[in-house]
Chain A
Amino acid sequence: MRERRYIIDVFHRNIAAMLFFFLSTVIVTFVDSIIISRYIGTHAMDANGIMATYNKIISTLILALTTSIQLMSAKVLGKGQKEEAMKLFSMSVVFALAVSLVLASITFFAPYSIARFFGAYATPLRETVVRMLMGSAIGLPAMFVAPQMMRILQLSGNTKSLFFSMIALGSVNVMNDIIVVKFLGGDMFYFTLGSSVAWYVLLGILHAIYRHDSNKLSFHYLPWDKLGLVLKTSLPTMFAGFGEATKVLLLNLVFLHLSCRESLTLANFARFSGLYALISLFAVAVVNSVSVMVAIYVVEKNAKAINLIRKEAMKMLLVVMCSISVVLFIFGKWVVGIWCHDVTSVEGYSMLVCLRLLLVSVPVQAFVMFYNKYITGVGHYKFGVIQIILSTFVFPVAFTALGAWIGSFFDGVGDEATWIGYFVGHAASLAMILVYSKVGDIPLHFISKEIRSYQRNQLALCPITQDEAVETAEKMQVFCNEHGVSRKQSYLVSLCCEELCNNVVEAGHDNNLMIRVRVLCEPSKENPDKKTVTLTIQDNGSYFDPVRYYEQHPFVDRDCFTGLHLVFKVAHDVKYVTAFRMNTSIITL
């Protein structure tokens, strides 16, 4: 009964988070489309598409920088060196600021000069693109610096500061959009200057709050010697991001072509969506493979292990997405043929949002569920299925219909109502992030798994050799002790970890052997004062089912005593799952 109540509680919390997510996504996208079409003009869709390429490149740079910092911090945090992680983040703030200022200058001045050279604003589309680019330069520094600072705040565990940082990031988006769509036609220079100053004041206040609270961040002892390593670890993400940007550029060129021929109807878009998904996945798969190879050569073994899992996962994703893409390509026109609106109309755009959600959400959600279930060995299968149905079909369609209905009112309403809707949408986004952070089961995208794990109740490490397996076992014991697990239980965790990892190392028979060990400490469902510890060991070595082996060779003679017998004697439960060439042992203690 308690088990059931616990699962239902988790499920309800997930549903609440998903509701926020889809509601805010649809509202923001919907209101964005209204604003773009109203204030920028009929070429807004095309200009927006072209800008998407540029945005992808910028976000890739931001992501590459933050990923490399995360990776390095995860390693030092794994060794318990929190101070060292703080130094890394300190450096990242300075570095991000420097990079962003250079990029912002280029973004602000280059498009205007180029446009003037070719005959500035000769076409409405070119004018729109130039204005959008110049506007986007304004928010760049804040966009680069804010994620770095958020990580510092997240690491400090300061909830109040985290809240402020989220408000700051949300404000970055809102203010940037205001400048782009509302003021670029007017006296642009003063607005951009004023906004930039406002960003730094905002971030400065945030920083001051943080320093006042914890006083752990200091710029005077930055480890500049690690700068090279930061750049090297950024490479895989850069590969993936630039690949994504190239894909967006190519696809938008096709969209532009269709648009010029005045044939971009919803029915055409539906057919094109299948092709879009197909190209997307091939591009991502190819680029990801390259990034994996780069990761293997330039990053140390933790990243190697993580990327090997990603490589396996990508193959699976590719198969699923290709199948869906083919079906959509063939039947897309029939599926949405009954609407047949122009995509630039409010109703058409709503439908387009719906289609995008369906196309992206179905395979990704399915993939995430299978990934969680079979690769990481966690997750509730049945509830995963219900979540997919709700999140991919029910919520998007319902909210899109709601958006279309609201939009019909906005058509005849003035600017004020539109702006109110715009702010409400962003407020919903912020609320969604906060709900996600509270729910706990859904990762915040801006913080690495390792850091999040260490902060909360789980630790993941990747040993390769026998010595590392022993070291990992010792760390797991210390971690459990520090997280309220009894001395005896912590001891048993260490014991099971060492025995099973040693078995994998000795019998793995693979040059690219990868082991990932994760320990999760949770309050016991029966007795909240006690802890339940789940030890998960994944490897890509030879198949060996310890459960079956134990059943065939039970412990009857002390002469035949092995580490495996020890594990079965001390563990509460042992499970073994093999999927996608990954073996997973799940031990409950």
Chain B
Amino acid sequence: MNTKVTIDGSAATLKLIGRLDTPSAVALESELDPIKAEGITSLLIDCSELSYISSSGMRIFFTLYKHFTAKGGSLVLKALNEEIKEVFEMTGFLSIYTVED
């Protein structure tokens, strides 16, 4: 899986490309430090090219959600594909995230 991080002031964008499976989730975790930095209060995760997410990936999303809401910021998921959206819905996670098309 490939990732692209862009930071614009207090807002960060994380673009995920490919499959976010267990090994990819481990790799992603180590790339999150710049996003979790002091001044950043909101995060947009661009999922337009994300084809798959496992429970490990979902746990990372939830950890980030807790991180930003604790700061009084926000986490937005953008362009989730139908399958991923459905899994989030089945597991009850969809209701807690802000989702953009």
Contacts and interface: CB of A to CB of B under 8 A. Distances in A.
A60 interface: no
B91 A491 contact: no
A495 B87 contact: yes
B24 to A, nearest CB: 8
A498 B59 contact: no
Contacts of A474: 19, 21, 52
B83 interface: yes
B10 interface: no
A492 B87 contact: yes
Given A474-B21, A558-B62, 18 more contacts: A466-B22, A474-B19, A477-B52, A488-B82, A491-B52, A492-B87, A495-B55, A499-B54, A558-B96, A559-B62, A563-B54, A565-B55, A566-B54, A566-B55, A566-B58, A569-B91, A570-B87, A570-B91
A502 interface: yes
A64 B82 CA distance: 49
A278 interface: no
Interface string A75-103: 00000000000000000000000000000
Contact of B83 (A467, A491, A499, A502): A491
B54 A495 contact: yes
A561 B83 CA distance: 19
7 contacts: A498-B54, A499-B55, A558-B92, A562-B55, A563-B55, A563-B56, A570-B91
A558 B94 CA distance: 12
A498 B22 contact: yes
Interface string B76-101: 00000011101100111100100000
Contacts of B87: 491-492, 495, 566, 570
Q: Give the interface residue-count category, chain A.
A: 20 to 34
How large, as a class, is the contact surface on chain B? 20 to 34
Interface in B1-34: 19, 21-23
Interface of B: 19, 21-23, 52, 54-56, 58-59, 62, 82-84, 86-87, 90-93, 96
A555 to B, nearest CB: 8
Interface SS, B side: helix
Interface of A: 466-467, 469-470, 473-474, 477, 487-488, 491-492, 494-495, 498-499, 502, 555, 558-559, 561-563, 565-566, 569-570
Nearest to B93: A558
B83 to A, nearest CB: 4
A204 to B, nearest CB: 49
Contacts of A559: 62
A293 B41 CA distance: 60
A494 B54 CA distance: 9
Given A487-B83, A495-B54, A561 B59 contact: yes
B91 A561 contact: yes
A563 B58 CA distance: 10
Contact of A566 (B19, B52, B84, B91): B91
Nearest to B66: A559
B55 A470 contact: no
B90 A569 contact: yes
Given A488-B83, A498-B54, A565 B91 contact: yes
Contact of A467 (B23, B55, B84): B23
Contacts of A466: 22-23
B62 A494 contact: no
Given A561-B55, A563-B56, A473 B21 contact: yes
A496 B76 CA distance: 26
Contacts of B62: 558-559, 561
Contacts of A565: 55, 91
Contacts of A467: 23
A561 B66 CA distance: 14
A363 to B, nearest CB: 43
